[in-house]
């Protein structure tokens, strides 16, 4: 069953010099229980996609075209009140910095009870029991004591566990995690990722994991969506995309990882940098940095097309047989 269906989604930010498009028409389907990673560099629009789904784009930005259908309703069109009831209930979000998302002046327990009571008509004691269950589920040591504690008393890893517990409170159908482990150390990151994977499986929740780290995505998700300058440029099963990337940008991104290069040798690099969103090149946005670009690439924008079992937005994708392994 398709849980989330995004069609031709565009997000604009009006400026003095005219609107800047930060999402330039994306299509994305998420099945119930599916784990999908959105990968890209800063400015690619991956967080913007998440905020658009949650209808949380800050003013003056707005969804200027397209639809976000979730469980049969178009989230781009429903009222603020309906959206508010949906957030934290059917869709939960986990952000990068747990210190920013937890309220520092409320106890952890209060924040959890507040969330529950906002969506359900239950007593404090019932909410408390549910909250303690979730704290146990994310393996917080001595949950009763933590329930009455404040966020600053916890380490970064434990805080992120609390955030996950809050996200799970109402058994959401979809969890959106925006760089959930970027602020954490590598050993803590591994624990949080393992926990997130386990809980999504257990609860049958779909997951959208947004990150710049291809390795993180490849360990947790079944499908990868690669974004560049406000567009999806490649989308397919995690194995296929990481083993045989087919868009020149994905190829370059993977080839640039240190572990893909012999120690001490110069790393494969992609020349240049991602364009600013107010100066996206015409045609294929990646063409000025691409080794395979020709005239067509700088005039005609490539659409996502199926190439060897995944979707790629590149005029030359079917010709580019160079796999990740051959690129070594």
Partner 1 sequence: MSKHSGKTLEKKSLQPLVRIEDLHIHFPLPGGFLSRERPKVHAVNGVTLDIMRGEAFCVVGESGCGKTTLGRVLAGLLKPTIGTVTYDGTRIDNLDDHGRRPFRQRIQMIFQNPYASLNPRLTIQQTLEEPLRFHRPDLNAAEITAQVEKVMKSVGNDPEWGSRYPHEFSGGQRQRISIARALVVDPEFIIADEPISALDVSIQAQVLNVMMEARRKHKLTYLFISHDLSVVEHFGDRVAVMYLGSVCELAETAKLFANPQHPYTRLLLSSIPKMDGSSFVHVPVPGEVPSPVNLPSGCPFHERCPLANDRCKIEKPILKHQKSGTTVACHAVEEGRSN
Query: Which stretch in 58-66, 69-77, 129-137, 247-255 sits in contact with partner 1 by CB under 8 A?
Result: 247-255
Contacts of residue 94, defined as CB under 8 A and 6 or more positions apart, other chains included, come to 101, 160, 163, 164, 167, 175, 176, 177, 178, 180
Q: Does 213 sit near partner 1 (CB under 8 A)?
A: yes
Alpha-carbon separation of residue 322 from 64, 239, 246, 252, 318 (angstroms): 38, 16, 8, 11, 10
Nearest Cα neighbor of 51 from 203, 169, 236, 210 is 210
Q: Does 165 sit near partner 1 (CB under 8 A)?
A: no
Q: How far is the CB of 116 from partner 1 (least distance, A)?
A: 28
Query: Which stretch in 189-197, 201-209, 277-285, 290-298 sits in contact with partner 1 by CB under 8 A?
Result: 189-197
Name the β-bridge partners of 13: 20
Mode of pairing for the β-strands spanning 35-39 and 91-94: unpaired
Which of 35/316 has CB closer to partner 1? 35
Q: Does 158 sit near partner 1 (CB under 8 A)?
A: yes
Query: Which stretch in 67-75, 87-95, 109-117, 182-190 sits in contact with partner 1 by CB under 8 A?
Result: 182-190
Structural contact between residues 127 and 113, judged by C-beta atoms closer than 8 angstroms: yes
Q: Does 100 sit near partner 1 (CB under 8 A)?
A: no
Q: How far is the CB of 289 from partner 1 (least distance, A)?
A: 8
Structural contact between residues 290 and 270, judged by C-beta atoms closer than 8 angstroms: no
Question: Within 10 A of 8 (CB to CB), how many other CB atoms are there?
Answer: 12
Q: Does 306 sit near partner 1 (CB under 8 A)?
A: no
Hey, which residues between 21 and 50 contact partner 1 (CB under 8 A)?
A: 41-42
d(CA 73, CA 64): 18
Q: Does 197 sit near partner 1 (CB under 8 A)?
A: yes
Q: How far is the CB of 119 from partner 1 (least distance, A)?
A: 32
Q: How far is the CB of 218 from partner 1 (least distance, A)?
A: 5
DSSP letters spanning 120-138: S---HHHHHHHHHHHHHHT
Mode of pairing for the β-strands spanning 20-31 and 2-13: antiparallel
Cα 216 from chain centroid (whole Å): 12
Q: Binding string to partner 1 for residues 270 to 299, with x set by CB under 8 A, is what?
A: xx-xx-------------------------
Mode of pairing for the β-strands spanning 62-70 and 223-228: unpaired
Query: Which stretch in 87-95, 172-180, 266-274, 298-306 sits in contact with partner 1 by CB under 8 A?
Result: 266-274
Which of 261/298 has CB closer to partner 1? 261
Query: What are the residues binding partner 1 (CB under 8 A)?
Result: 41-42, 155, 157-158, 185-191, 193-194, 197, 212-216, 218-220, 239, 242-243, 252-254, 256-259, 261, 263-271, 273-274
């Amino acid at each position: 069953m398709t849980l989330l269906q995004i069609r031709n989604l565009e997000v604009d930010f009006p400026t003095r010099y005219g609107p800047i498009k930060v999402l330039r028409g994306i299509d994305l389907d998420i099945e119930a229980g599916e784990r999908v990673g959105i990968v890209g560099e800063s400015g690619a629009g991956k967080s913007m996609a998440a905020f658009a789904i949650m209808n949380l784009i800050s003013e003056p930005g707005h969804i200027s075209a397209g639809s976000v259908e979730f469980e049969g309703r178009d989230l781009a069109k429903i009222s603020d009140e309906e959206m508010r009831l949906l957030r934290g209930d059917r869709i939960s979000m986990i952000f990068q910095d747990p210190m920013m998302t937890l309220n520092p002046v409320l106890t952890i327990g209060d924040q959890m009870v507040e969330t529950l009571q906002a969506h359900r008509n239950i007593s404090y004691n019932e909410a408390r029991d549910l909250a303690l269950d979730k704290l146990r589920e994310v393996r917080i040591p001595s949950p009763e004591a933590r329930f009455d504690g404040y966020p600053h008393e916890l380490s970064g890893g434990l805080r992120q566990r609390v955030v996950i517990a809050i996200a799970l409170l109402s058994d959401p159908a979809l969890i959106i995690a925006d760089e959930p482990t970027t602020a954490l150390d590598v050993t803590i990151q591994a624990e949080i990722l393992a926990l997130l994977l386990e809980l999504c499986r257990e609860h049958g929740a779909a997951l959208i994991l947004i990150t710049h780290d291809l390795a993180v995505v490849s360990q947790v998700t079944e499908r990868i969506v690669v974004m560049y300058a406000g567009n999806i440029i490649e989308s397919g099963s995690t194995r296929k995309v990481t083993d045989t990337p087919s868009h020149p940008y994905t190829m370059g991104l993977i080839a640039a990882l240190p572990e893909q290069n012999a120690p001490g040798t110069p790393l494969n690099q992609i020349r240049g940098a991602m364009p600013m969103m107010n100066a996206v090149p015409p045609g294929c946005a990646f063409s000025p940095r691409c080794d395979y670009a020709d005239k067509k690439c700088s005039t005609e924008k490539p659409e996502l097309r199926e190439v060897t079992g995944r979707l790629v937005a590149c005029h030359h994708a079917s010709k580019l047989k160079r796999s990740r392994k051959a690129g070594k």
